Structure 1
Amino acid sequence: MTHASKKNWPTWAVALAVLAWLLCTAWWRPLAVPDEGRYAGVAWEMIRSGDWLTPTLNGLPFFHKPPLFYWLTALSLKTFGLTLWAARLASVFGAWLGAMGLYLLVRRWGGARVAGWSVLVLVTQPFWFGGAQYANLDMLVAGCISAAIVLAAHAVLAREAGQAYRFALWGAYALAGLGLLAKGLIGLVLPGAVIVAWLLLTGRWRAILGLLSLPGLIVLALVAAPWFVAMQRLYPDFFHYFFIYQHFQRFTQTGFNNMHAWWYYLPLMVGLTLPWVPAWLLTVWGPGPGPRQVPSGEAPEAQAVASRSALRWLAWVWMVVILVFFSIPASKLPGYILPALPPLAYLVADTLMQRWPSASAWAPKAWGVAASLMCLVLIGAAVRYDEQSSRPVLPVLQPLLKQGVPLVYVNEFVYDLPFYLAQPGPIPVISNWDDPDLPKHDNDRKELFDAGEFNPTLAPKVLIPKSQWQTWLCQHPRLAVMAPHDVTKSYPELAWQPPVMKLKLWSMWVLDRDDLLAKGLRCP
């Protein structure tokens, strides 16, 4: 072994370091609402109900997304308890999977040094670091998509080199199946689109046929099909709702939330990958691919140049396909383009290695230090300035619940509160559920409305129509209410008593029936 190769970290050490870094502040922030509260809450309901097959939101079947995130999070919560870092462990795993997939691919076909820098650039991008500690489905599916692309690309390159490739190919099919279970069809469509485009643009079109594998398709079906088939058997409208409405209609129509212009992701990607943006710009306006110094112990120069050219083509195609795909629909969210960050990280790292081939160069190290500090500062800022959590009501609310005082939401579901309370059952939500315009809007109330359609027996007990509001006030001597601040316009009885606590998004009332009767409440 040469002196240069001794400096390379073993793969297990890289894997542990990446995991430790991605976990280091996962305990710090309260759950963000609505996303983190929603998805951690669905996982908690699996534990609470013992039903790990059907995801439920407030006790009602919730089919906006498939179950992989909920399964992993429920397993984490059951193992480590209802802690914040355990609620985020599935996202950490997705980020770790994507980072290690990139590292292993680049190490095998580009060299250990550029692989190490690739993973460093990736995990110190605030976008990737923050996404790893955000409990929703985007990072998990990004990890599955990235790993599927990595395995398929490795299979292509290994097959060209006359090496064993079938296990990597079957692994790509398995990861595509997990991607289906993580967020739906994009887990299969995007890896396939990236690999096919890469092969066509690099003149490897014959390799497309080599990637078609009957054993791989069997693996894909064994991984993904059982849950979808089970849901369709239990809920006959499942396929239409999940595939037609949630996938195609939401992708093509314009009546949904988060409407943005086609170029939305370009400035977003630049801003959320600081301070690596200057290095990224070097990949765009710098010199084209050329020979780079190959440390002793790595592949010969000719092989290194060919492999590096294949990786650069893959990285550009990978990044562009993801950006174009998610720029087509009018509805856009930042987390959608997380799968575009691993190829960007490789392009940045490869450029750095060209510009500063010496291992002692200070510029890449300075960028790395600045990026790491920025990640930590941004998480700290989120802790300091994000005041949307409902957790501050716990000291007031928990004693009331122990005394048997019922809790009810009015107009909105407080997504993070069931997780903090370890709530033993659904929480009634009083709202105008018979509003004919409600199904036309893409919002949180419609999520619950759609869920209620799949369980018409339970729905009337959980989704309480506004017409029963006064009945609830009359039936309960005391009632704890969580609602938005402006709800008093539609529910004037809440204005008769001041809230006991006022948060950024919600107020909490403790209503006393006798006091309300004295102020004009009429009960039969």
Structure 2
Amino acid sequence: MSSEQAKSQNKKKEGAKALSPLFLVLLCIFGIVCLSISNILVRPLFPIDETRYISVAWEMWNKGEFLVPHLNGQPYSHKPPLLFWLIHLGWAAFGVVEWWPRILPAAFGILNLCFIRMLASRFYPNTPVGELVVVVFSSMFMFLFFSLSLMFDMLLMCFVCLAYVSLFSIQERKFATITFGLAIGLGILTKGPVMLVHVLPFAILYPAMVGFRNIKLKVYYLRLFLGTLLGILISLCWAIPASIKGGDLYRREILWGQSAGRIAKSFAHRRPWWFYMPVLPLLLLPWTGAFVLWIRTSSYLFRDKNILVFASWTIITTICFSLISGKQYFYIMPVLIPMAIMIANSLTAKELKAVDQMIINVIYLIIGITLTILPILVDKLSLPAVFESYKFFYALPTIVFSLLLIFYFPKTQRYQVIFVFAQSFLLFLMLLWGPIKHISKEYDVKEVALFLSRLEANGYQVIHVGKYHGEYHFPGRLSSHFTEVDESLLPQLLTDPKKVAVWVSKDPSKVSQFQVIYHRPYAGKHLFLLGSPKEPLGAKELLEMSRKKGI
């Protein structure tokens, strides 16, 4: 061992003694819990994704149909049912409440921290890497954002991380084959066969990275095959009966259409092959400066064989997803796991220097300044008009804290990562209680959903102009299905006095020929409830009807 490596190992041991692992982990958990509570208090579920997913869960629950997800009366083939089942599990215990689905992403975010610590500690035992990576991972904007969003990606990342924890010990422990298969199966039930893309390409090539002599190839590949087979069988336990019950179209979609369509010629989110190249540094925020850190520690990293494993994980996964037609920035979010471990490992070799600190603090400073001048940018960036009344002082804490840290930044690893996490925590707390709270009323559909509920209770049929994404079914606890129509058919359909229409339009003049029951700004557009001219139902009468029902 060279003198430089010996010094590095000594520094890691000294850092491990100086660190309080429990304190760091609890600090991150406390931050996530605080942000999750603030998230529930400050904002409603935002359309269209969050309201759609919770409405799918509600429709399954309301009908007692737990095998085939449904949206607006039709089988919903875009996502498997695991997240919906987890929502049902909480509703069975606590009743149909909104807070339970909204804490699930944060809960799985915390579980992710446990898995990534296990992963880092396996490769870097007796070093502070396992503790540092928890704080580094928790401070990433992508991690915090999806810990607060009712989507599938935090749940998927949790199972990807568990699969890798199992994979790296699969030749040593038989039980790891079972946990690997369980992770694969649950990952497929979370977001479909994309789980296999996250794990299998790397898993097949893994022996070549660590050296064939260091792995019992027959044992490794046999258990990898058995674990993968177990995962596929777990997913088929749902997919086969669901495909039978859901009908021919649903069967084609879940068994082939959704996956093949996204891979070969995406019907949504089609992007060029190089899409992830500029996106990857942005996913690392606020640790985009890690590239500078890696350059400075390159001599140490090149001698670390484990770095090859994590770098290959990142590169192989990114290449695989680049070959898929459909692309979204968060599709490759699980690559943050190996990248966070590489950042934490680099921090044990060299502390953040002035250039690293400047990059991190300037990122927060730019975000803070941008949020301060939002009212000026409304026209230039085509932002919703609601931002014109936004108060600039919401961003001041982030600006002040960033300026202070530009001139004073801790010298030790422990306080460096804590202060970066503190900046991310403060930024997201400010975002929630500032701009997000400010715009929440414009995106809150609870009022109109409750109006629709009262209309449904009084025998009205609801028509929706254009595609309906389930925005109102859970907030209004609706049971009937909306009829989706083109706007050209409205004059004919609204001759029926027992029909009302929901229309979201940029042009309010289009509704002049109809009886407007309700109108409000909505997501930069106008939301209308329209009634039949034959039986005018004004806003006052509708509100009175609602008050009588106790709304």
Please state how far the C-alpha of 1:373 moved relative to its aligned partner: 1.9
Q: Find out whether 1:259 has 2:313 as its counterpart.
A: no
What's the TM-score once normalised by structure 2's chain length? 0.73
Please state how far the C-alpha of 1:41 moved relative to its aligned partner: 0.9
Counterpart contact for 2:177–2:226, Cα < 8 Å: no
**Are the structure 2 counterparts of residues 494 and 183 from structure 1 closer, same or farther at C-alpha, using a change threshold of 3 Å?**
farther
Aligned to 1:297: none
Counterpart code for 1:242: I
Aligned to 1:484: 504
Counterpart contact for 2:456–2:478, Cα < 8 Å: no
Please state how far the C-alpha of 1:10 moved relative to its aligned partner: 8.6
**Are the structure 2 counterparts of residues 493 and 237 from structure 1 closer, same or farther at C-alpha, using a change threshold of 3 Å?**
closer
Please state how far the C-alpha of 1:335 moved relative to its aligned partner: 2.0
Aligned to 1:370: 423
Q: Find out whether 1:4 has 2:17 as its counterpart.
A: yes
What SS does the corresponding residue of 1:148 show, helix, strand or coil?
Answer: helix
Counterpart contact for 1:258–1:332, Cα < 8 Å: yes
Query: In structure 1, how many angstroms separate the alpha carbons of the residues matched to 2:477 and 2:39?
Result: 20
**Are the structure 2 counterparts of residues 486 and 309 from structure 1 closer, same or farther at C-alpha, using a change threshold of 3 Å?**
same
Query: In structure 2, how many angstroms separate the alpha carbons of the residues matched to 1:96 and 1:225?
Result: 29
Of the structure 1 ranges 44-53 and 312-321, higher mean CA displacement relative to structure 2 is found in: 312-321
Please state how far the C-alpha of 1:53 moved relative to its aligned partner: 0.7
Query: In structure 2, how many angstroms separate the alpha carbons of the residues matched to 1:50 and 1:408?
Result: 25
Instruction: Choose the corresponding residue for 2:470, options 403, 415, 430.
Output: 415
**Are the structure 2 counterparts of residues 83 and 122 from structure 1 closer, same or farther at C-alpha, using a change threshold of 3 Å?**
farther
Aligned to 2:44: 30
What is the root-mean-square deviation of aligned Cα atoms in Å? 3.4
Counterpart code for 1:496: F
Query: In structure 2, how many angstroms separate the alpha carbons of the residues matched to 1:121 and 1:7?
Result: 15
Deviations, residues 390-442 of structure 1 (Å, cap 9, x unaligned): 2343565455445444432122315221111111232332348xxxxxxxxxx
Please state how far the C-alpha of 1:236 moved relative to its aligned partner: 4.0
Q: Find out whether 1:129 has 2:147 as its counterpart.
A: no
Query: In structure 2, how many angstroms separate the alpha carbons of the residues matched to 1:15 and 1:78?
Result: 30
Q: Find out whether 1:343 has 2:338 as its counterpart.
A: yes
Deviations, residues 449-482 of structure 1 (Å, cap 9, x unaligned): xxxxxxxxxxxxxxxxx75x556423325x4321
Query: In structure 1, how many angstroms separate the alpha carbons of the residues matched to 2:262 and 2:301?
Result: 43
Q: Find out whether 1:203 has 2:211 as its counterpart.
A: yes
Q: Find out whether 1:388 has 2:443 as its counterpart.
A: yes
Please state how far the C-alpha of 1:509 moved relative to its aligned partner: 2.2
Counterpart code for 2:257: Y
Deviations, residues 261-319 of structure 1 (Å, cap 9, x unaligned): 3333333332343222213431255323369xxxxxxxxxxxxx9xx632x22221222
**Are the structure 2 counterparts of residues 187 and 116 from structure 1 closer, same or farther at C-alpha, using a change threshold of 3 Å?**
same
Query: In structure 2, how many angstroms separate the alpha carbons of the residues matched to 1:276 and 1:51?
Result: 44
Of the structure 1 ranges 405-414 and 123-132, higher mean CA displacement relative to structure 2 is found in: 405-414
Aligned to 2:495: 474
What SS does the corresponding residue of 1:88 show, helix, strand or coil?
Answer: helix
Please state how far the C-alpha of 1:326 moved relative to its aligned partner: 1.9
Query: In structure 2, how many angstroms separate the alpha carbons of the residues matched to 1:208 and 1:131?
Result: 37
Instruction: Choose the corresponding residue for 1:63, options 77, 86, 90.
Output: 77
Instruction: Choose the corresponding residue for 1:321, options 305, 316, 321.
Output: 316
Instruction: Choose the corresponding residue for 2:258, options 223, 246, 260.
Output: 246
Q: Find out whether 1:182 has 2:161 as its counterpart.
A: no
**Are the structure 2 counterparts of residues 366 and 257 from structure 1 closer, same or farther at C-alpha, using a change threshold of 3 Å?**
same
Counterpart code for 1:369: A
Query: In structure 1, how many angstroms separate the alpha carbons of the residues matched to 2:425 and 2:226?
Result: 42
Please state how far the C-alpha of 1:121 moved relative to its aligned partner: 1.2
Query: In structure 2, how many angstroms separate the alpha carbons of the residues matched to 1:404 and 1:16?
Result: 48
What SS does the corresponding residue of 1:155 show, helix, strand or coil?
Answer: coil
**Are the structure 2 counterparts of residues 280 and 500 from structure 1 closer, same or farther at C-alpha, using a change threshold of 3 Å?**
same
Which sections of structure 1, spanning at least 5 residues, go unmatched? 160-164, 292-304, 433-465, 518-524
**Are the structure 2 counterparts of residues 378 and 347 from structure 1 closer, same or farther at C-alpha, using a change threshold of 3 Å?**
farther
Counterpart contact for 2:61–2:88, Cα < 8 Å: yes
Query: In structure 2, how many angstroms separate the alpha carbons of the residues matched to 1:73 and 1:153?
Result: 31
Counterpart code for 2:17: A
Query: In structure 2, how many angstroms separate the alpha carbons of the residues matched to 1:239 and 1:360?
Result: 53
Aligned to 1:520: none
What SS does the corresponding residue of 1:408 show, helix, strand or coil?
Answer: strand
Q: Find out whether 1:146 has 2:161 as its counterpart.
A: yes
Instruction: Choose the corresponding residue for 2:55, options 37, 41, 49.
Output: 41
What SS does the corresponding residue of 2:534 show, helix, strand or coil?
Answer: helix
**Are the structure 2 counterparts of residues 360 and 145 from structure 1 closer, same or farther at C-alpha, using a change threshold of 3 Å?**
closer
Please state how far the C-alpha of 1:340 moved relative to its aligned partner: 1.0
Aligned to 1:437: none
Of the structure 1 ranges 384-393 and 167-176, higher mean CA displacement relative to structure 2 is found in: 384-393
Counterpart code for 1:192: L
**Are the structure 2 counterparts of residues 508 and 269 from structure 1 closer, same or farther at C-alpha, using a change threshold of 3 Å?**
same
**Are the structure 2 counterparts of residues 80 and 265 from structure 1 closer, same or farther at C-alpha, using a change threshold of 3 Å?**
farther
Query: In structure 1, how many angstroms separate the alpha carbons of the residues matched to 2:190 and 2:259?
Result: 14
**Are the structure 2 counterparts of residues 384 and 330 from structure 1 closer, same or farther at C-alpha, using a change threshold of 3 Å?**
farther
Counterpart contact for 1:177–1:188, Cα < 8 Å: no
Counterpart contact for 1:118–1:345, Cα < 8 Å: yes
Deviations, residues 38-68 of structure 1 (Å, cap 9, x unaligned): 1111111121011111110112111122111
Counterpart contact for 2:453–2:477, Cα < 8 Å: no
Counterpart code for 1:413: Y
Of the structure 1 ranges 129-138 and 360-369, higher mean CA displacement relative to structure 2 is found in: 360-369
Counterpart code for 2:514: W
Counterpart code for 2:118: L
Aligned to 1:309: 305
Query: In structure 2, how many angstroms separate the alpha carbons of the residues matched to 1:199 and 1:347?
Result: 20
Deviations, residues 93-151 of structure 1 (Å, cap 9, x unaligned): 44333322111121233136211111111122111111122112222222211211121
Please state how far the C-alpha of 1:494 moved relative to its aligned partner: 5.8
Please state how far the C-alpha of 1:187 moved relative to its aligned partner: 1.4
Q: Which has the higher contact order (CA 8 A, sep 6+)?
A: 1
Instruction: Choose the corresponding residue for 1:118, options 130, 133, 142.
Output: 133
Aligned to 1:451: none
Counterpart code for 1:209: K
Instruction: Choose the corresponding residue for 2:111, options 77, 88, 97.
Output: 97
Query: In structure 2, how many angstroms separate the alpha carbons of the residues matched to 1:396 and 1:236?
Result: 36
Counterpart contact for 2:108–2:155, Cα < 8 Å: yes
Of the structure 1 ranges 95-104 and 84-93, higher mean CA displacement relative to structure 2 is found in: 84-93
What's the TM-score once normalised by structure 1's chain length? 0.77
Counterpart code for 1:383: K
Instruction: Choose the corresponding residue for 1:193, options 197, 201, 221.
Output: 201
**Are the structure 2 counterparts of residues 515 and 19 from structure 1 closer, same or farther at C-alpha, using a change threshold of 3 Å?**
closer
**Are the structure 2 counterparts of residues 413 and 94 from structure 1 closer, same or farther at C-alpha, using a change threshold of 3 Å?**
same
Counterpart contact for 1:130–1:379, Cα < 8 Å: no
Of the structure 1 ranges 57-66 and 15-24, higher mean CA displacement relative to structure 2 is found in: 15-24
Question: Pairwise mapping of residues 377-456 of structure 1 onto structure 2 (< 5 A)?
Answer: 377-380=430-433, 381-385=435-439, 387-394=442-449, 396-431=451-486
